[in-house]
Amino acid sequence: MRVLFAGTPGVAVPSLDALIDAGFDVAAVLTRPDAPTGRKRVLTPSPVAARAAELGLEIIHAAKVDAGVTARIAAVRPDVAAIVAYGGLVPRAALDIPRHGWINLHFSLLPAWRGAAPVQRAVIAGDDITGAVTFQLEEGLDTGPVIGTLTEQVRPDDTAGTLLERLSHSGSVLLAQTLSAIDSGAAYPQPQQGAVSLAPKLTIEDGRINWSEPALAIGRRARGVTPEPGAWTMLDGQRVKLEPVLLRPGQSALAPGQLAMDGKSVLVGTGSHPVELVRVQPAGKKMMSAADWARGQASLESVVFE
């Protein structure tokens, strides 16, 4: 079965490898164009493009699936298209090209968390269980019938990054199994059932910590926005970046945003009990341990995060 693979970030690479390892004929790879990265803004291929080049696969670079890209996809003559975090919409003209359609690997248990940031939103919301599904791509936002499902426990210390890394590998197996089932005629898509929730792409503002919220919610948000866009707060008009915090129930009460030392630990008050800072990055400086940062403050008790 000839496969067109569409994907862009690193979490899509395990799926590309899984299809190759399963013996599928990956005829071409659709990925977004090279993008500037780093402080010097050097144009860099997407992780999927880099892996496809290593494998010697034809690469279609496109930020949008327009008429020209649709013609290139048709020229590949795929039997099916597999898509994992490509980062762009697929119009009806392109959806109709493969005889088996487009199969999307999505990192949530649809219809929960339809959208671009399902793992991040699940962590922020405090979900205990998430997972991944393969479904038939439609023009609607993650609305198509589901073919395969797997579940994954959200661990207490999971960040969006660690959880997505696990799902990218288990999901790659699910995707290969789904395409095998389609090829053998054993796939039976089922309509989505349950409550719909949306997972729009995170913005910088999603990473801002509101110290008036309960500690549990603050911990979830900090983990859900790690590694991107990252947790942060304001101090003296400047942004301070934060790594995920630790919950410290039972500690002495502090006002929201107020800081204090407890032995070698740096605590911050919340709407409930304090949390412990692990690492912070002041504006213009490198990430450092919270204790080292606190030692550089003239009087920590007078410091209040905004």
Q: Give the model's confidence band at 300: pLDDT under 50 very low, under 70 low, under 90 confident, else very high.
A: confident
Task: Classify strands 288-289 and 265-268 as parallel, antiparallel or unpaired.
Answer: unpaired
The answer on pLDDT for 176 being more than 80 is yes
Distance of CA 237 to the CA centre of its chain: 30
Q: Tell me if 278 sits within 8 A of 245, measured CB to CB.
A: yes
| Tens-place pLDDT, residues 99-139 | 999 999 999 999 999 999 999 999 999 999 999 999 999 99
Report which of 42, 83, 92, 37 is spatially closest to residue 60, judged by C-alpha positions.
Answer: 83
* Share above pLDDT 90 across residues of the chain, in percent, rounded to a whole number: 88
291 forms beta bridges with: none
Enumerate the CATH 3.10.25.10 domain ranges in the chain, comma separated: 204-302
Q: Give the pLDDT of residue 303.
A: 85
Find out whether 240 and 211 touch, Cβ atoms under 8 Å: no
Distance CA 101, CA 35 (A): 29
The domain 204-302: what is its CATH number? 3.10.25.10
- Do 52 and 19 contact (CB within 8 A), yes or no? no
- Per-residue confidence (pLDDT) for residue 212, from 0 to 100: 96
Are the CB atoms for 62 and 41 separated by under 8 Å? no
**2-184 has CATH 1.10.10.60 classification:** no
pLDDT of residue 284: 87
From-to residues of CATH 3.40.50.170 in the chain: 2-184
pLDDT of residue 302: 79
HSE of 90, CA atoms in CB hemisphere, 13 A: 27
Higher pLDDT: 63 or 296? It is: 63
Q: Is pLDDT of 152 > 90?
A: yes
pLDDT bracket for residue 301 (50, 70, 90): confident
> Average of pLDDT values for 144-164?
98
Q: What pLDDT was estimated at residue 37?
A: 81
Average pLDDT, whole number, for the chain? 95
pLDDT at 20 over 90: yes
Q: Give mean pLDDT, residues 251-267.
A: 88
Contacts of 150 (CB under 8 A, 6+ apart): 131, 132, 133, 170, 171, 174
Compute the distance between CA of residue 228 and CA of residue 275 in angstroms, rounded to an integer. Answer: 21
User: What Å distances lie between residue 36 and 20, 33, 46, 92, 179, CA to CA?
Assistant: 28, 10, 10, 30, 34
Nearest to 267 by CA among 218, 207, 220, 223: 218
Q: What pLDDT is stored for residue 16 in this prediction?
A: 98
Q: How many CB atoms lie within 10 A of CB 88?
A: 16
For the full predicted model, state whether its pTM sits above 0.85.
yes
DSSP character at residue 176? H
At 24-75, the pLDDT tens digits run 999 999 999 988 887 778 889 999 999 999 999 999 999 999 999 999 999 9
Per-residue model confidence as pLDDT tens digits over 231-251? 999 999 999 999 999 998 876
Reply yes or no: is the peptide bond before residue 45 cis, omega within 30 of 0: no
Picking from 11-25, 30-44, 89-103, 271-285, which range would have the lowest pLDDT averaged per residue?
30-44
